Structure 1
Amino acid sequence: MRLHVDQRHERVLELVRQRGSLRVAELASELGVSAVTLRRDVETLAARGSLRRLHGAVVWPTDRPSEAARTPSTEGAVIGMIVPTTTFVFADIVRGARETVEAQGGRLVLGMSGYVDTEDPVQADHLLAGGAEGLLIAPSWFGGVPADGQEKWLLECPVPAVLVERSAPAGNPAAGLDRVRTDRAHGAAEAVAHLAGLGHRAVAAVLQEGPHAAQITAGYLAAVESLGLIPVPGSPVIRAHGEYDEMAEYLVGAVRNQGVTAVLVHSDEDAIVLVPRLRSRGVNVPADLALIAYDDEVAGLSDVPLTAVAPPKRAVGELAAKLILQRLAERASGAAPTPRQHLELLPELRVRESCGVGEAARGAQDQ
């Protein structure tokens, strides 16, 4: 017979009192409920002070807590991580998170959404049922921020969660979550500033639609304005993945009709595909058009090695993992949580051949 929630709470307390401590998975199995349901029960009872919650286990409170209870450890913690893919930027992010968790004696368990937003909560439930005590999440929010209530399931999550390379705008309830992401606007502005320093006055931008387009757009436009560059009509162009001919035609027109001499392209893949398309149309990189790619996954492997903005991918994973482990340690100790954190890491500009030597640099050499 299925127990009422109050009866279930009483049974949980009875079992923990009798045995002193129990693994959450064992307790859920004995009561015949899901791990997710049991975790919610444990959180409620721990908040009342009726029992103590350690990593993956519950302990009956005593007047003289054990050394393990006084000094909580993240050893043995299971961290779930949900990403849309393990390719491109997420490969190094996952690697950084895994190495950090394992260095603390924990284990990282991966779930993938495939950029399908409805898959995020499915993966989360699966990881929680398997014993995950905290979640690192890069939700499949198309614009990088939640829309139409996409964050609702995340706010109901019974374990600590950290957003990775995603954010929520002020006023959205998910803005109160911890998050770690790359400051992509800063990276775009650094790219434009580098091109301006080479003497380029009309810099276009061609971006791939998706979670990072808004940030890159903001940085590009801010830099064009602050540096007093010539605004390029239509830039930034934001295109769906694979619309290479349309991107190439836009850039050829911008070079020939609008005086554009440089461009910022997101992503590396798009930049590499565009270079030969531009060449076939009579526009050569870097002779006619200086180019900076964004992401630096494979930019250096182009036939003309591409200058690129490189997000600190591994560091994003490392810091996100450290933050979730900190939250688990706080819970285990019963200490008041430290303030929520929004961490933004600055990308690096890696200069290669695709920018050539600009007018400003040539002038310096001639002097």
Structure 2
Amino acid sequence: MREPVELRRQRIMAVVESRGAVKVSVLAAELDVSVVTVRRDVEELTRAGRLRRGHGVARPLRDPAVTGEMPAPRGSEQAGEGGAVAIVVPERHSYLYETLHGARTVLEESGIRIALHIAPQSAGAERPLVERALADGARGLLIAPRWRNALSEELDHGWLADVGVPTVLMERRPRPGSALHALDSVCSDHWYGTHLAVEHLVSLGHRRIVLAARDDSPTARTVRAAFAHIAAARPEVEDWTVVLSSPNAVPGPGPSGAEPAPGASPASVGPALDLAALLRERGATAAVLHGDVDALMLVQRLAENGVQVPRDCSVVAYDDVVAALGSTPLTAVAPPKAEIGRAAAELLLHRLSGAAGASGPVRRTELLPELKVRGSAQAVTPTTD
């Protein structure tokens, strides 16, 4: 599914405002879209008065290279003098881009310059970006590592715990006992979000539920584990199973390869998941689907196989990035993505402020998701003999 136009333009604005003048060709390469698309976006943003356009270059409205000025950051007496705050997020990750923009709002309001770094999908991509940011004088770090598998996370523990500047993990929960256990973090309570999905379906009378979920991110792994724990503990749930939502939703590529997820149905690894057949096999009447794009594609395939949502199968999506945009708007668990970014930025500003207590205890903050009910789930219709 294509990235929404406004989200792509927000990404363009973030890069231009953090770096100054940027070539259109560079933007196109980083956003993985055509030069024509970026040129059109830049023209529209220029027309809207959000940036300026040069010969093959996009510039912020206030460009120090042109004006010769570098205004002092607002609120620098509270935030402390120094360089930019580096933000590192994975490429092509709409979920975390919402988190990024939440952090950006807080930092810009405080007059803090942002240096945005987009990490490619290759394993270990974050480390050289962080090292470059530190070499450029970054005084703080907000980071959401990709961590497609447990080994990727383990390999990041040593260097990330010793970057030497205040650091806050966004939407990542350090593994207990790891080198990052004592690192500030702000994330969603995905156990609670999974509970909301199961509770909603159980309240509608569903007793046989399938979770089709990714397994290539910390969020996905938490959702899978939480669902298994919650479903097994609910006496109302007669049958449940966990499968992969997409054949490319496995932990690879990464240092440990692309092994199937633990507990995944063998049929779900490789060929596309036949959710309609699985529902018939299990006698299931409901499904929780993570993430949104996979959910919309699975709902489309259900329709192609004569299974209508919610008439024949109730669905709750997890992420709520694009769940509302399907031909059938999906009820979805909505983690507080932008609020995660804002809370992480506020915590980092606290660490940078030099105020009393700024070097106090490590903070691990969790924010609760919400359930957005849109009608893709309905009560079970009693069968008659």
Class of the TM-score when normalised by the shorter of the 2 chains:
0.7 to 0.9
Q: Which letter does structure 2 place at the counterpart of 1:270?
A: D
Q: Give the structure 1 partner of residue 278 of structure 2.
A: 254
Q: Give the structure 2 partner of residue 149 of structure 1.
A: 155
> Is 1:193–1:223's contact at 8 Å kept on the other side of the alignment?
no
- Alpha-carbon distance, 1:151 to partner: 1.4
Q: Give the structure 2 partner of residue 127 of structure 1.
A: 133
Show the 5 A alignment for 1:22-33.
Answer: none
Q: Give the structure 1 partner of residue 293 of structure 2.
A: 269
> Is 1:117–1:139's contact at 8 Å kept on the other side of the alignment?
no
Q: Which letter does structure 2 place at the counterpart of 1:208?
A: R
**Compared CA separation, residues 191 and 247, structure 1 to 2 (3 A):** farther
Decide which of 215, 223, 241 is 2:222's aligned counterpart: 215
- Alpha-carbon distance, 1:215 to partner: 0.8
- Alpha-carbon distance, 1:247 to partner: 5.1
Q: How many residues align?
A: 288
**Compared CA separation, residues 277 and 171, structure 1 to 2 (3 A):** same
Deviations, residues 98-118 of structure 1 (Å, cap 9, x unaligned): 110111121121111123342
Q: Give the structure 1 partner of residue 330 of structure 2.
A: 306
> Is 2:88–2:116's contact at 8 Å kept on the other side of the alignment?
yes
Q: Which letter does structure 2 place at the counterpart of 1:344?
A: E
Q: What is the percentage of aligned positions where both structures have the same residue?
A: 33
Q: Give the structure 1 partner of residue 237 of structure 2.
A: 230
- Alpha-carbon distance, 1:277 to partner: 1.0
SS of 2:287's partner is strand
> Is 1:209–1:240's contact at 8 Å kept on the other side of the alignment?
no
SS of 1:235's partner is strand
Q: Which letter does structure 2 place at the counterpart of 1:201?
A: R
Q: Give the structure 2 partner of residue 343 of structure 1.
A: 365
Deviations, residues 232-282 of structure 1 (Å, cap 9, x unaligned): 464244644377994541x22332222100000011101111112112222
| Greater mean alpha carbon deviation, residues 336-345 or residues 72-81 | 72-81
> Is 1:209–1:241's contact at 8 Å kept on the other side of the alignment?
no
**Compared CA separation, residues 193 and 359, structure 1 to 2 (3 A):** farther
Q: Which letter does structure 2 place at the counterpart of 1:215?
A: T
> Is 2:210–2:279's contact at 8 Å kept on the other side of the alignment?
no
d(CA) in 2 for partners of 1:229, 1:254: 20
d(CA) in 2 for partners of 1:96, 1:144: 27
**Compared CA separation, residues 86 and 101, structure 1 to 2 (3 A):** farther
> Is 1:185–1:217's contact at 8 Å kept on the other side of the alignment?
no
Deviations, residues 203-249 of structure 1 (Å, cap 9, x unaligned): 11000121122210122123213321435464244644377994541
Q: Give the structure 2 partner of residue 355 of structure 1.
A: 377
d(CA) in 2 for partners of 1:228, 1:238: 25
SS of 2:320's partner is coil
> Is 1:310–1:349's contact at 8 Å kept on the other side of the alignment?
yes
Q: Give the structure 2 partner of residue 73 of structure 1.
A: 78
SS of 1:174's partner is coil
Q: Which letter does structure 1 place at the counterpart of 2:120?
A: G
More helix by share: 1
d(CA) in 2 for partners of 1:105, 1:336: 19
- After TM superposition, the score normalised by the length of structure 2 is 0.69
> Is 1:185–1:216's contact at 8 Å kept on the other side of the alignment?
yes
- Alpha-carbon distance, 1:328 to partner: 1.0
**Compared CA separation, residues 327 and 144, structure 1 to 2 (3 A):** farther
Q: Which letter does structure 2 place at the counterpart of 1:276?
A: Q
Question: Alpha carbon RMSD of aligned pairs, Å?
Answer: 2.5
Q: Give the structure 2 partner of residue 35 of structure 1.
A: none
SS of 1:305's partner is coil
- Alpha-carbon distance, 1:158 to partner: 1.4
- After TM superposition, the score normalised by the length of structure 1 is 0.72
Unaligned runs of 5+ in 2: 1-75, 250-267
d(CA) in 1 for partners of 2:140, 2:346: 11
Show the 5 A alignment for 1:67-106.
Answer: 73-74=78-79, 78-85=84-91, 87-106=93-112
**Compared CA separation, residues 192 and 79, structure 1 to 2 (3 A):** same
Show the 5 A alignment for 1:165-244.
Answer: 165-211=171-217, 212-230=219-237, 232=239, 234-237=241-244, 239-241=246-248
Q: Give the structure 1 partner of residue 352 of structure 2.
A: 328
Deviations, residues 326-348 of structure 1 (Å, cap 9, x unaligned): 11113xx5867111011111111
**Compared CA separation, residues 248 and 285, structure 1 to 2 (3 A):** farther
Bigger CA radius of gyration: 1
Question: Structure 1 residue 136 and structure 2 residue 139: aligned?
Answer: no
d(CA) in 2 for partners of 1:197, 1:335: 45
**Compared CA separation, residues 311 and 180, structure 1 to 2 (3 A):** same
d(CA) in 2 for partners of 1:125, 1:111: 11
SS of 1:221's partner is helix
> Is 1:164–1:316's contact at 8 Å kept on the other side of the alignment?
yes
Q: Give the structure 2 partner of residue 12 of structure 1.
A: none
Show the 5 A alignment for 1:44-83.
Answer: 73-74=78-79, 78-83=84-89
